[in-house]
Copies of this chain bind each other. A is one copy, B any other.
Amino acid sequence: MNNVTMLHGAGGKYMLQFIRQYVLKYFGDLGRNIDVPLYLLEDSAIINGIAFTTDSYTVYPLFFPGGDIGRMAVCGTVNDLAVKGATKILGISCGLIIEEGVELAMIEQILNSMRTASIEAETSIITGDTKVVERGRVDKLLINCSGIGAPEKELFHNYEVIRRSRGDSSSMWLINKNIRPGDRLILNGPIGDHAVAILSARGELGIKSEVKSDVAPLNKLMREALKTGGITCAKDPTRGGMAGLLNEWAESTGLGFILHEEAIPISPAAKAASELLGIDMLEVGNEGKVVMCVVNEKAEEVLASIKKNGWRHASLIGYVTDSFKGVVLETSIGGKRIIPPPVGDPVPRIC
């Protein structure tokens, strides 16, 4: 392939290939004294004790049930920091690229969403940039948010719990290389809702749906969970979904990830949409969701704390093993299915 295709940005196999062959080729060897450098491909870099992340938001339509591009941008940035343990969000940047002719009232509504989401995440937008481009050079509005975050005392406590449990070779930050066989997997709520909300807003669902996107900031959830301690790694299953996330973990750790199908929460509407459109809900991007790896002896306790904090569908969905490398789904009747990394998007891109 000599040209960029949609697959290069879809969160699957080709995207990883693109990142390795191009991005890491030019940027991967630079950067010394970095706690979590680029080549680890974590959601945030960590340098001088500060987590730093960036994401561009190109979702359409700009408004959908439960949210809009502005809310997605702020929450996505907060979450990329929070899942690595930087639950104190120091500040967020707002880079707007606006097509001339767009209604100011629409921009205002999106800025207001960004404000609300910042307040929910106990942070604020502290720097920004606005570019307006000629008609046709972008489709209405694109947003980039970057963010910086810092660890709080809960992360240090969490680290102490892990060290007591398994010695001290782990990182304080919740990064992939901390994952060990025996860790349990916790998911904080049902998958697929964001996909259904977006498809519904695009009129691609064919059925009427009341499902709202679950886009939300997760730094408070992470902070509360860290209080119990024992979380070794965490990541939000956005582009590429659960399948992408777990295969990324399998690839970077060389370990196996076993999922119990009946334990994975999914709303009835997402299940229906999945059967109707033939979409694998394990492959679609989610918002407001996080998968945590937790040391076995703390797993039930962390789950209870997450439920207590309002995530009543949170669930222990599986565990980590060293008996193979990859991702396997176990069905309730004893069947086993290998979950490969998604090749591209199962549906038009939704995040």
CA distance A48 to B123 in the complex (A): 14
CA distance A219 to B340 in the complex (A): 46
CA distance A101 to B117 in the complex (A): 35
A151: shortest Cβ distance to chain B, in Å?
12
CA distance A7 to B52 in the complex (A): 32
| Known contacts A31-B91, A45-B93, A95-B144, then 19 further A-B pairs from the complex at CB < 8 Å, ordered by chain A residue | A4-B99, A4-B102, A4-B103, A9-B131, A10-B132, A23-B94, A23-B130, A27-B128, A30-B118, A45-B127, A48-B150, A50-B90, A50-B148, A54-B144, A56-B96, A95-B146, A136-B136, A144-B144, A148-B148
Chain B residues positioned under 8 Å from A8 (CB to CB): 98, 130, 132
29 chain-A/chain-B pairs, Cβ below 8 angstroms: A3-B100, A3-B102, A4-B99, A4-B101, A6-B134, A8-B98, A9-B131, A23-B111, A26-B115, A27-B115, A30-B118, A30-B124, A31-B123, A34-B91, A37-B126, A38-B128, A45-B126, A47-B91, A48-B150, A52-B93, A52-B148, A54-B129, A54-B146, A56-B129, A56-B131, A56-B144, A58-B133, A58-B138, A136-B136
Contact B15 A130, beta carbon cutoff 8 Å: yes
CA distance A219 to B22 in the complex (A): 27
Contact B144 A6, beta carbon cutoff 8 Å: no
Contact B4 A112, beta carbon cutoff 8 Å: no
Chain B residues positioned under 8 Å from A136 (CB to CB): 136, 139
A114 at the interface (CB under 8 A from B): yes
Main SS class of interface, A: mixed
A330 at the interface (CB under 8 A from B): no
Contact with B along A43-72 (1 / 0, CB 8 A): 011011010111110101000000000000
Contact A125 B4, beta carbon cutoff 8 Å: no
Q: Which residue of B lies closest to A56 (CB)?
A: B95
Contact A6 B38, beta carbon cutoff 8 Å: no
CA distance A202 to B283 in the complex (A): 43
